[in-house]
Structure formats: structure tokens, C-alpha cells
Structure 1
Amino acid sequence: MIVVGLMTGTSADALDVAVVDLTLDGAPQGAAAQDVAGELVVRLLDHREVAFADELAGDLLRLLEPRDVPLALVSGVDARLGRFCADAVERVLADTGVAADLVVSHGQTVRHDVADGRVTGTLQIGQPAWIAERTGVPVLSDVRSRDVAAGGQGAPLAGILDHLLLAGADAPTAALNLGGIANITVVAPGRDTVAFDTGPANALVDLMARRITGDGRGYDRDGALAARGHVLPALLDDLLAEPYYALPAPKSTGKELFHAAYLDRHLARYTDQHGAPDDLDVIATLTALTARTVADQCRAHGVGAVVASGGGTRNPTLMRALEAELGHPVDTTDRLGLPEGAKEATLMALVGWLTWHGLPAALPSVTGAARGTVAGRLTPGAGPLRLAAPLDTLPARLRVVG
């Protein structure tokens, strides 16, 4: 089955696209296959990052700030992002010459509401009808809401891919994603897999980078800004006092918490007590915050090895800080055959394969849902929907080839 996965994360800088061929191997064919796990073989046929135009990126970032916005902006971005995704899928299918069976579009999360540790709602925009109409391929979207309705966090979705990718690990191993928000999945022998958001990865660092550079889409390229600063212990201690870090898993967060006003409150307290900090020292401290909060959670779960993915892996200052906190090197998912930049779009393709075969896309031990649920809603393509015969059992593991 060939699935195109689309992902745009909390950094809202580009659309990740992956064309993935998924085949269930090791299970017998026919009716008996329904209750035999087998191995899911994943072949990455293409992956790319398609940058957003400045206007679309700016509007997405406006929607991510926790303030009131015009409904016209939400509606407009929903349609424009849908058309952007349709363009990207049309182009990648033309370039690769393959015929896709399904497109899975995560969309842009613009709200992920949490009250007293419970997710009350989650909203992703990017109208899938534009993709289906343009390409004739059915589209799966809104992949978090059903888990939330079943009492789960709806996040992190990466838990299912990590669980299958790291199956058979002989010691507690963490899969770490460093996007706008950081999350880890801990896979350990004899224990249920757990996954949760640890806190900000690039969300606060990006905010500070944009203030320093004056670039509304700027980021700390190669960690150069943080490398020029020094960590401010008092500011770091104040940031680490955030109650979210002490909450037990399952838990999830986003820019509803870690946003510009949040950072400004901490900077105002620091300024009152110590004077105005240097901007480079602030971004160095925010980088240290990401490393410390990730490492603290890895230690709390007895993790001895970490494989990382996401944009943060391209920040050598952050990676050095993380390795110093952990006391050992950090690999990327490239070592497992999955390019770190393609992981989240490949995750979307996996979610699509699971839904197409009637299987849940989230583990209750990860999200806290009462049960595993089949994810998303389907928009038909040019013809009627014809799903595969449902399977009763998740694959035992996932193997990336090619």
C-alpha cells in the first residue's frame, strides 16, 4: 500500500512530505492473516520539505499564539493550507510516478486545549477536500480527535511508530522528537510503552531567535546564537519551576502554554531581580532548558539510549547540551534507516495504513485513552472508498528498508 504522509508541526515553517510503501510481511494470506501480527515493512520512496510562503507562514504563526483571532483568518488559512498541501501532493506524485492509495494530512494544530491535565479539545486545520479533489486520492485527516474523545491526550502520535520501530529493545530506549515541542517515547522490555511531551524544544528558542535577528521566520541556525551566550542560572531555575514538568504522564502541551507572553513573564521577573539580561544569554538559557527537561525525563524512566529526530537535531549547540546532560551520545533515527527529517511524515503514512486496516493508531499506555481507537476521518477520492479487510492485531514490529 502506498501512502503519502503530510505533516506540519508547531514550528509552522514547512510541510514535510513522505511517499511510503507499506507491506505486511510474515503473516499468512487470507482469513487467517487477521489474527497474526507479522512485521510491517516500510520503504521510503520519497521525502521532502516544502517551505511555506512568507504570508502563509506568518498567518500560521498568528494562529498559534493564544489570543483571539478573526474567524475569517481561521477559515482562510484552512483553505489556503489545504490548497498548498494539494499542490505538494500533486507535485510529489508527478515526480515519483507512483499511484498513491491514500494521503494522510495531519494539518496544522492551532488549538490543543488542556484543563487539569485532561485534553478537552484539539483542532487541526488544512481542508483535506482540496487534496482529494485535486489528486483523486482519498484523504485521512483529523487524526487526533477520536483518541481525545476516548479520554486520551491525542498526543504524542509518534508513540505508535516508536513502539514498533524500537520493538525488541533489550534496554530502556527513548525515541526523542525535537520539534517546536519535545516528546519522548520510552520502549523497555517487560514494560508498557509510554510517551509524552517533555516541554518546549524549539518553541521558545525560535521566539528569541526572531527577536534577536528581526526575522519573523528566523531560528537559531546551527545553534550559533546560543553558542555565543552563557546560561543564566537564576533564569533557568525560574523556568524549571514550571508546574507542567512535574505532572505525571500521560500529558501533552503546546504553544498554548509555551508562547511569547509566557517567556516575557519570566524575563520580567529576572529583570526585576537581576537587571535586563543579554539576549544571547537568554537564548543560551532556553536551549539549556530544552536539554535539561528532556534529560530529566529520560533519567526518570531509566533510559540508557536515545534516538532523536526533528529540527532540533540540526542544532549542534542543543545536541551538545543534551549529550552533556545525559552523559552519553545521542543517535538519530537515521541509524535505524529512517531519516530524521522524514520521521513525522512517515508517521502519518503509518497512521493511514493502520486506519485503512481497522487498527488503532495510538496506544492507551501512551495517550491515557480508555481504549485504542481507529484514527481520523476519510474524505473520498475520485471513486468510492474500498478499505482493506480489517486486521485484529497490530504488527509486531516495523522495519525500514531501502
Structure 2
Amino acid sequence: MSGTSFDGIDAAVAEFDLVGTELSCRPLGLLSRGLSDELRSRIAAVLPPQRTDIAEVCRLDTELGRLFGEVAAEAINTYGDVDLVVSPGQTVFHWVSDGHALGTLQLGAAAWIAEATGTPVLSDLRTRDIARGGQGAPLAPMLDSLLLLEDDVRRGVLNLGGIANLTVRDDDHRVIGYDLGPASALIDLAVSRATGGVERMDTDGVRADRGVVDHELLCRLLDEPYYRTDPPKSTGKELFDADYLSAKVGDHDLGLDDLVGTLTELTAALVGDACSRWQLEELVVSGGGVRNPTMMRRIAALAGTTVVRTSEDFGIPAQAKECYLMALLGFLSWYGLPGTIASATGASSLLGSFTPGARPLQLPAPPPQPPTRLIMRG
């Protein structure tokens, strides 16, 4: 897994067992590898509003595929053989127009992973959902609904990556999932731009903690039409890019710490509004943003009566949740089961494309019933 912040690669290994409609997941281990500054810069250079060429896209697709293969092979050598590797790839463009997702592009050619591991690979997880009329994102609602959402508790599940996404149940108990808006995306842009790339993020939320929120700028940031549209919806760095940030800041004269503090407050305000909208009693948070104490503190402050928890309380390390999500989606695709929920992305879809490993691909028959509950086991 390499997320929208592209600060590193995480690989999680899990064992699944389906008995009736109860699916258990036993985490076997997690390892992480950082991305070099040079590679991170090259990924950033192909993202909008930057212009690139197809040769560089080809090079990145290959180099990321080889790197993903190395990390997958290391995970297998460390934790044992697996039946399937799932690689969602590095998102470089998510094409949304007038609220409709029209296409998506993730880099990291799966053939390199299959060659490095000899194991089948599931990749390109989002395209099929878009082809069926869905948003292709977020994919988290499947895991959230099976593991964390309960009918007797009004609970929401928040992931804080480059983009924040939320999963809830509505009054009719339908699973609703959507991209809320930026989490670290604009913060990382502001820090990297102001420091010439010497710093790439607000480490430990130190700058936001020192900064003073500029409420005029905050109101300008909150006046974004995307926030007023109803789910299902998805967004990404295609909207929240460097040009967007420059246009919002305009000739506003404020220091980096105050800008980062205001951008952190933006995320907290979006989360607080969502807690109020969905009348949440609890909010379970995961993702890299959990390591930002200033952001977590401001979310808790603006969440009102909503109790803020982390996914650690439910047996999933905050940094590893997206990895285990992808493992779950791989299990479902392996058994011919949908990985998206129509009330969340807009479609119910069997996800991904399989690349065979060292042997011909043989998929098992689908189970009589799909899982209705996920349990994490120690």
C-alpha cells in the first residue's frame, strides 16, 4: 500500500477464514519501507497541476512495480507464503467531472510483483467500480461496515491520509462512504513549497500547534462547492492541488505555521460538521493523521459530544488499516464477491484484475453466502 501522501510503502500479511457468514482475519505482520526523496519528487511531479510526458509515466509505472515487488517479496520471506498479493498501486489521477467519476490511474505494474513473488496479484482495484457507475473511492466502507459499524451505536469511521474519507450508516442503516476533503494533502503542499522540499509534512503537528488560525482564510477554504454535494462522491489531489491552494490563499499574508494551523483546522472543521450531520456517538480514526496530535486534538474539540477513538481499540493498527482493507478486498475478489457497496461508492462491484503468478491462475468457487461480519483475531 502506498497512499495519497506517498511517504512510504506498507505491506501487511493476513490470514482469512470464512465460516458461514463470519469472516475472521488474523494479522501476521506489517513492514514498512520509506520512499526516497528522489522518487517522491518524481511522483509529485506527475500530479496535477504539473505537466508530464508519457515516458516518465512509463518509467514510474515500472519502477514502482519493481519496488512494490521487492517489498512484497520481503513480506513473504518474513511472514511466510501467501495465496495472493494485492496491490492498489500509486494513485496519480482520479478523473471526476460534475460529480461523476470517469476514470482513474494507479501506477505500479503488477507483472513485476508477480515475477518477484511467483504469486498471483490483484491490482487496478478501482476501475471496475467506475465502469459500473461508481466513484471507485473510497474503498474503506467494505471493511468498516463488516468490522466497525454497528446498528446500536451511531459510529463513524474516519481515515486520515492525503484525503480524509468517512464511513457511516444513515437513518435507514445503509452504509454511506465518501471522501470528506483534504487531510494532509494541502498541509504537505504548503510545507514542501515553503521549505523548498526540505520538509514535506507537518511532523507531529508542531507547526499547526504553533500557528494561529486565520478565520478569514478558513471561511474561504470552507466555501468549496465539493463540501456541499451529497454522497456518493470522491475527490483527490486533482482538486486539492498547488494551484488550488495558491488561489485560496491569494494575497493573504501569513506565515507558514499560521497557514498550516489553518489548514489543519479545515480538516477538523470538516470532520466536526460530519459528526453533527450524522449525529455520531463515536468516531473511529485511522491513517497517518493519527500521528498528528494537533489534528487529533482539534478533531476531538470540534466533534462535540462524539467520542473520538482510534482503530487500535478494535485490533487494527492505525497505520495498517488500509493494508488490511486491501487484503480483505483481495479475499473477496478471490472468491468472486463484490468489494464495493452500492450505497457507498454508487455501485456494487467485483474489484480488480488478476495477474497470474508462477502457475496458471485457479480461482475457487464462490461461497454460498458473502460475509456479514469481520472479526480480528490475535
TM-score tier by shorter-chain length is: over 0.9
Which deviates more from structure 2 when the two are superposed, residues 199-208 or residues 386-395? 386-395
1:144 to 126, 134, 139: 126
Distance 2:288 2:116 in 1: 30
1:267 to 221, 225, 249: 249
Paired position in structure 2 for 1:307 = 284
Compute the displacement of 1:9 (Å).
1.1
Structure 2 contact 151–173 (Cα < 8 Å) conserved: no
Q: Count residues in correspondence.
A: 377
Compute the displacement of 1:217 (Å).
5.5
1:156 to 138, 158, 161: 138
> Which residues of 2 match residues 2-401 of structure 1 at below 5 A?
7-25=1-19, 27=20, 38-96=21-79, 98-187=80-169, 190-215=172-197, 218-269=200-251, 271=252, 276-327=253-304, 328-369=306-347, 372-401=348-377
Aligned AA (1:21): E
Compute the displacement of 1:366 (Å).
0.3
User: Unaligned stretches of 5+ in structure 2?
Assistant: none
Summarize deviations over 1:46-94 as a string: whole Å, max 9, x none: 1122111222111111122333211111000000000001110111111
Distance 1:111 1:216 in 2: 25
Compute the displacement of 1:169 (Å).
4.2
Q: Secondary structure at the match of 2:319?
A: helix
Aligned AA (1:381): G
Structure 2 contact 149–155 (Cα < 8 Å) conserved: no
Aligned AA (2:266): L
Structure 2 contact 45–51 (Cα < 8 Å) conserved: no
- Would the alpha carbon gap of residues 173 and 312 (structure 1) be closer, same or farther in structure 2, given more than 3 Å must change? same
Q: Secondary structure at the match of 2:152?
A: coil
- Would the alpha carbon gap of residues 391 and 44 (structure 1) be closer, same or farther in structure 2, given more than 3 Å must change? same
Q: Secondary structure at the match of 1:320?
A: helix
Compute the displacement of 1:256 (Å).
0.3
Q: Report the aligned-residue RMSD.
A: 1.3
Compute the displacement of 1:188 (Å).
5.7
Summarize deviations over 1:349-383 as a string: whole Å, max 9, x none: 001100011100000000112xx121000000000
Compute the displacement of 1:214 (Å).
3.4
Aligned AA (1:181): I
User: Unaligned stretches of 5+ in structure 1?
Assistant: 1-6, 28-37
The alignment's TM-score, normalised by the length of structure 1, stands at 0.91
Structure 2 contact 177–344 (Cα < 8 Å) conserved: yes
Structure 2 contact 166–177 (Cα < 8 Å) conserved: yes
Distance 1:135 1:167 in 2: 35
Q: Secondary structure at the match of 1:207?
A: helix
Which deviates more from structure 2 when the two are superposed, residues 332-341 or residues 161-170? 161-170
Structure 1 contact 13–217 (Cα < 8 Å) conserved: no
Q: Secondary structure at the match of 2:233?
A: coil
Q: Secondary structure at the match of 1:341?
A: coil
Summarize deviations over 1:247-301 as a string: whole Å, max 9, x none: 00000000000011101111115x2xxxx11221111000000000122122111
Distance 2:151 2:32 in 1: 30
Q: Secondary structure at the match of 1:48?
A: strand
The alignment's TM-score, normalised by the length of structure 2, stands at 0.97
Distance 2:204 2:149 in 1: 32
Summarize deviations over 1:213-236 as a string: whole Å, max 9, x none: 433562111100011110001000
Aligned AA (1:133): E
